[in-house]
Amino acid sequence: MSHYNVIVVGGGHAGIEAATASAYFKLKVLLVTFDKNKIGFPSCNPSIGGIGKSQLVFELDTLQGAMPLITDKSGIHFKLLNSSKGPAVWSLRAQIDSKEYPENAKKFLTDFENVSIKEDNAIDILVKDDKVFGLILEKEKMITCDSLIICSGTFLNGKIFIGDQVIEGGRYNEKNSIDLSNSMKKLGIEFIRLKTGTSPRIKKESVNFEVMEKQEGENDAGTFSILTERVKNILSCYITRTNVNTHKIIKDNLNFSALYSGNISGKGPRYCPSLEDKVVKFSNRDSHTIFIEPMGIENENIYVNGASSSLPIDIQYQYIHSIKGLEKSIFSQPAYAIEYDALKGKQIKHTLEHKKIKGLFFAGQINGTSGYEEAAAQGFVAGLNASLSALKREQIVFDRFNTYIGVLIDDIVKKDLTEPYRLFTSRSENRLFLRQDNSFIRTKDIVKKLNLQGERIKSYENLFQQTEELKDIIYKDKENSVLKREYEFLKDPSYPFEKFKEMFPDFFLRAILYIYSENKYKGYIEKYKRITKIIIENKEKIIKDKKRLLSSPIISKESKEIIAKNDVEKIKDLFGLIDPSDIENILIFLKKS
């Protein structure tokens, strides 16, 4: 019988990060997956990053996560989104090579001597006295462990829907995991059904790119990892649009859609709807944007982003052929919807450990989220805490005031999710502080507490040193009159970054951007820090009379509705549920009463 300190079930983005985080503790780690060559394979669109998501990837880099390095290495098209707006919402996005990414992910993991990968099917979780002690596999039978992390993605009792076809599977042409789902149900773990979907893959040679809008990559967009010197922009993306005819085809055939026929019970992501949903819910619109994304340098397929569907294949062909540039396209894989088991809310702690079963952790879509980046962030947190649990050390909680990882986890732990959760910058009350450019500052205490070592940690220490030197020059150099005249940017929040960075050619771009952003949002950050300090100092204050609190005129109607629906006993229970200004008002109310 084999024994491992940490076992990770699932080789998606959550599983990769869970194994990575555990490996840094020099523990004996096992990753169990159906196919080791599909580790990190993009089940949906072949891209990493984007609005709200890139911030997670940047935070992972400061913690030595896998995704930033693998993305930079596997990327074929990079773009900085929201570059016309302020740096608080700048978001790096990369198209990845769907063949190279799994290859690079597998190599990243196998480079750790203490990480093993096993192709097998996990069928039963072993628990004694409310503590995990092992796992039953289909081939190897029993293996034991100190901690177990479930990163099952859409494979847990997954069902694929294409029209009236219902196929048992966790991904197209791949089997699902039913026994593991039944094992957890026997342990008293409760599930809900969630739904997501993916778009068709089309043969590249059948697409007319010339009639579409071309989108080239940006060489100066930046990199996800501080260790990456430059990225590759090899292939372009393209934009086309649906039209009135496309929408008519879909409307005329809605009764054949698995989503609208009632075959699917799970609720899909509101912010990533199927094309049927978009046509129905936005019936006043004549067209919707379709993004044509390359799937790799040597890959013969392209991904039709924005065309997710559960319609029959023949209807899919009809509406796809009605779109400009796709008139003669040939499918290599149809669009489909997939329904799967996810945890019912409020069963896990902020450490991502189950509340009743010690040593059992969860990460990714099983926690009700969607997106590669959300899964990766959870995977890393679960890996950290599973390792700390195995070592009998104090576990780490990421707070929502300093990290988007904290925002993500706080939201999924506290809220009863009824649809797949997606992270947006708007989900953070402190979004002007939680930026890409200062992730190394915001995670500094966690890195220090964990005593993380490595090349990336040293690079971020050097970066921090440069920011301190730059601060000294700008804020303390009273003698240099030339610089003093240039420091008009200190009084002007709209001062252009391009002009500012020219003043300091010898400094890292990341250091310059950090100083620029800190000044730009200084007033907001100081105000929020003041409110946050008050809230944290009073987080253990008990809310004794909830009924009387709900009658207070100084608390907003929206916050009252949220408080009425949720179990709140202390001030800390309100974090992430209502606006910080209302929490401040509640503290005033409690003080008076």
Residue 229's pLDDT is 93
Q: CA separation (Å) from 161 to 131, 492, 581?
A: 37, 55, 45
Helices (H), 415-454: 439-442, 444-450
Shortest CA distance to 402 belongs to which of 518, 511, 532, 578?
532
**Cα 386–Cα 389–Cα 392 angle in degrees, nearest 5:** 155
Tally of CA atoms within 13 A in the half-sphere of 232 that contains its CB: 14
Q: CA separation (Å) from 333 to 7, 22, 43, 198, 313?
A: 33, 36, 12, 10, 10
Q: Which residues contact 283 (CB under 8 A, 6 or more apart)?
A: none
Tokens of 194: 């969630």
Round the CA-based radius of gyration of the chain to a whole number and report it. Answer: 25
Note whether 55 and 434 are within 8 A (CB): yes
Q: Which residues contact 465 (CB under 8 A, 6 or more apart)?
A: none
How many beta carbons lie within 10 A of that of residue 574, not counting itself?
A: 23
Q: Which residues contact 575 (CB under 8 A, 6 or more apart)?
A: 399, 400, 410, 535, 539, 583
Residue 71's pLDDT is 98
C-alpha span between 449 and 350 (Å, rounded): 18
Which three-class secondary structure state does DSSP give residue 112? coil
Residue 67's pLDDT is 98
C-alpha span between 98 and 118 (Å, rounded): 22
Residue 271's pLDDT is 65
Residue 480's pLDDT is 55
* Domains by residue range for the chain, with CATH: 2-197+340-441 (3.50.50.60), 454-523 (no CATH), 538-592 (no CATH)
Residue 593's pLDDT is 73
Q: What is the mean pLDDT of each run of 10 residues along the chain (593 residues)?
A: 95 98 97 97 96 95 98 97 89 97 98 97 97 95 96 96 95 95 97 95 98 95 95 96 97 90 74 86 93 96 96 97 98 96 96 98 97 98 98 95 94 90 87 92 95 95 94 70 58 81 90 91 86 86 85 84 84 81 85 79
Shortest CA distance to 18 belongs to which of 54, 66, 83?
66
Shortest CA distance to 6 belongs to which of 391, 347, 275?
391
Shortest CA distance to 9 belongs to which of 139, 184, 192, 153?
153
Residue 484's pLDDT is 55
C-alpha span between 357 and 355 (Å, rounded): 6
C-alpha span between 145 and 31 (Å, rounded): 12
